Amino acid sequence: MKIKILGTRGKIEPKAEDHVNHTGFLIDDKILIDVGEEKYMDKHPKAVVFTHFHPDHAFFVPNKEKFIPKTPLFGPEAHDLIPQLKVISGKFEVEGYTFTPIPVIHALRLKSLGYIIKKAEKRIFITGDVAWIEKANLADLPPLDLVITEATFIKKGGRINRKKDRIFGHTGVPNLIRLLSPLTKKIVFCHYGEWFFEDTPHNSKQKIKALEKEIPLVPAHDGMEMEV
Ligand SMILES: [Zn+2]
Ligand SMILES: [Zn+2]
């Protein structure tokens, strides 16, 4: 599988060279995961899969434009702006890729899913934005070749909000490393928050690299390609 990370900027104002675009991942030039920028549709994906419907993952949300490309669309819950959306209810297959949805805790009013994507014997996991993932949802997973996750907060604990018994927001990079390292050979980070833009991209990437222990940690940039 060839994975292209189209955007690495979270839902924030600051940007930097090579860290301009919002979230999108292109698998083998065929499947697009999240559409943080309208221009990603110029890649003519054969299917589009959403992790959740925050504006930095679904560019059409702020302007309330309908999203009606002639492309199969999949997502975690129905959405007024996407009449043709197929709501994911379990494992599904598209264009020869098997998607296993993993429930992710992230937003109070939106459902979020991460996806294990399998082709031949290769498996990657795109988490989307994460406040937390219940360990039960990660139990008994087959070994992963790559995890792509987020880096909104570099500090431990991130920023978690609480309402009654619910949590939402983003956990920290150190927490994600602890949670995800046992599952995979490598972790790639994108979806950078404010902290990343307070220093040069080079120095900020070093802050992620400094947390490396058992497995390689790779800070991504817009347009970065990798192969598993
Ligand atoms: Zn989000
Ligand atoms: Zn986001």
Pairing of strands 97-104, 24-27: unpaired
Q: How confident is the model at residue 161 (pLDDT cuts 50, 70, 90)?
A: very high
Ligand nearest to the CA of 54: 1
CB neighbour list of residue 135: distance below 8 Å, 6 or more residues apart:
179
Q: What's the 140 CA to ligand 1 centre distance in angstroms?
A: 26
Q: Average per-residue pLDDT in the chain? A: 97
Q: What's the 223 CA to ligand 2 centre distance in angstroms?
A: 17
- pLDDT (0 to 100) of residue 104: 98
**pLDDT digit string (tens) for 165-179?**
999 999 999 999 999
Q: What's the 4 CA to ligand 1 centre distance in angstroms?
A: 20
- pLDDT (0 to 100) of residue 68: 98
pTM for the whole thing? Answer: 0.98
What mean pLDDT do residues 104-124 have?
97
Please, where are the H alpha helices in the chain? 173-180, 194-197, 201-209
Q: How confident is the model at residue 195 (pLDDT cuts 50, 70, 90)?
A: very high
What mean pLDDT do residues 62-87 have?
98
- pLDDT (0 to 100) of residue 11: 94
